[in-house]
Amino acid sequence: MKRTRWYKDGVFYQIWPRSFKDGNGDGMGDLYGVYEKLDYLKSLGVDGIWFSPLYPSPCADCGYDISDYYNIAEEFGGMEAFRKVLDGAHERGMKVIMDLVVNHTSDEHEWFQKSRRRIEPYTDYYIWRPKRPDGKLPNNWDSMFEGKAWQWDDVRQEYYLHLFAIKQPDLNMDNPLVRQEVVKILRFWLDMGIDGFREDVITFISKREGLPDASIPAMRGIFHYNLGPRLHEFLTQFRKEAFSDYDCVTIAESALITPEKALEFISEGEENELDMVIQFQCMCADCLFTDFVPMPFSLYRLKNAFSSWQEKLDGKAWNMLYLENHDHPRIISRYGSEQFRIQSGKMLCAMYLFQKGTPFIYQGQEIGMINWRAESVSQYEDVQTINHCPHWPEDKRLRLYHRASRDNARTPVQWDSTEHAGFTTGTPWFTVNPNYREINVAAAEADPDSLLHFYRKAIKLRKELSAVRFGKYKEYFRLSGTFYVYAMESPSQRVLVICSFSSEAKYFRAPRGYDLAKGKLVLSNYGSSLRNNGFTSMPYETRVYVFE
């Protein structure tokens, strides 16, 4: 199948279904709610939707623990509602991509139930290890969410590996039968008409032979199972036996990946293993590897991350651009300022939307939703959060979770100022952020100066500016601790993006070669006045100039 790489012209919107919109009043977001909001999504200018998992699941990890790969959960409306949304999106010219979670399944999946009873052919579908004579665990790896990476199973009388929660046993991808299952799943959904997959922790699927002990204590094990020895082989098989028959997109989530490593998978060619990578470097400007090890925000780290991916992938591979998703706290609360919520939200929008790649916007980001302040630890739902340092005193946990928890991004979308933010007519499954009376879609629609309208304008502009798609990225004033300034430059057009990360007024002077008076100011969050080829930038000011 000839690949058109349609995703290069698109902007995606991520839906985390439980919290997007409830359409049937049971308190849980669902596909009826999504259907109601398709026109809203279209009005934003997005060209595609990424759905976090919609499959049946006991929800130990909010759907990332799948118990049936061939169905849509009843609570989301089942297959009928899904087909309606798929058709509705396609009719509006929007693509639909699904989450593929095959590093692990739910322990309630039939494969696991049969595997623990040694029923063929499922016996080796998972990674089982016997008890050691010395009584120690099979190796010293930690799981991401719950203690050690090994769980004893009374039925099989062996340990199984779980890199995430106990209820998420890892599949044994070395088993060719498991890979056949993956191919079958991919073809099933692609045949139904979906347009691609976001692949969950896909760089974890090949484990090193012998599962050796980890010598580095931090994130114990990750260096042994990330980017494992047979990863290229597995991904190539998926490409050849499934993806290459469809004009679809594949986006790999990959922790700890560098641009150099990513190029091994995403360098463009007819058979490249993957199309884009969800890297984490852009999410580490205020933490050390994970949000749960916070550090002061560093603009240098932020600029370095974005610039290095822009520069190193240029002409070779395609970037996936994002600032928020369901795994990270809200971006205004992190890289922006809650005090200057609208202005910093606009600046962050311009900061990433004019770079080369395919931008993703996460639900609620477009109206500037911010972190949620829980009153007690018992209000948290997320398995990663509640298992993080459970022995700490409550107030210390609350402080850390407020800053780091994924639940910050999982409170229901705030649609209007009515009860439960218009998310549901029932009782919401999760706390609605009490700031919904001020921060909601209806209020943003009514205010011409809102962040929502700014996103609309930025998305539209991005599509009109050829240099964003075809130009070359160039960063200016790398050493500035206040401004992030870059340009997309092509022979016929230059787009200059100026972003202040300061809450104070600071003078900005244009880089050499740019005469601001000759440029067209196409987007800004304050005024347009100029002084000496520069301006006094206001808190979190942003300006986008076009030179033709």
Residues that bind ligand NOJ (CB under 6 A): 61, 64, 101, 164, 200-201, 253, 326-327
**Residue 145 or 234 with smaller CB distance to ligand NOJ:** 145
Task: Return the axis-axis angle of helices 341-353 and 451-464, rounded to nearest 10°.
Answer: 20
- The residue at minimum Cβ distance from ligand NOJ is 64
Question: Least distance to ligand NOJ from the beta carbon of 54, Å?
Answer: 14
Of 143 and 337, CB closest to ligand NOJ? 143
Q: What number of other Cβ atoms are within 10 A of residue 341's Cβ?
A: 20
Provide DSSP, 149-181: SEEEETTTTEEEE-SS-TT-PBB-TTSHHHHHH
Q: In which element (H, E) is residue 251 found?
A: strand 249-253
As given in the structure block, the two tokens for residue 519 are 């440029």
438 is catalytic: no
Q: How far apart are CB 206 and ligand NOJ at their closest, in Å?
A: 16
Helix (H) or strand (E) holding 499: strand 493-500
Nearer to ligand NOJ (CB atom), residue 179 or residue 326 = 326
Task: State the amino acid at position 338 in one-letter form.
Answer: E
State the nearest-atom distance from the C-beta of 165 to ligand NOJ, in Å.
8
Among 99, 146, 158, 200, the active-site one is 200
Q: Note if 489 is an active site residue.
A: no
Q: Which H or E run contains 278? A: strand 276-278
Question: What are the phi and psi torsion angles at 199 (to 5°)?
Answer: -105, 110
State which residue, 107 or 200, has the beta carbon closest to ligand NOJ.
Answer: 200
Question: Would you say 540 and 503 are in contact if contact means Cβ atoms under 8 Å apart?
Answer: yes
Task: Please state the length of the chain.
Answer: 548
> Which residues on adjacent β-strands are paired with residue 14?
50, 362
SS3 484: strand
By the 10 Å C-beta count (0-12 exposed, 13-18 middle, 19+ buried), 475 is classed as: middle
Nearer to ligand NOJ, 145 or 476 (CB): 145
Q: How far is the CB of 64 from ligand NOJ (least distance, A)?
A: 3
Query: Would you say 334 or 410 has its CB closer to ligand NOJ?
Result: 410
CB 126 within 8 A of CB 160: yes
Q: Least distance in Å: CB of 61 to ligand NOJ? A: 5
Whose CA is closest to 285, among 338, 323, 340, 341?
323
Catalytic residue among 47, 61, 195, 253: 253
Q: Least distance (Å) from ligand NOJ to the CB of residue 421?
A: 23
Catalytic residues: 200, 253
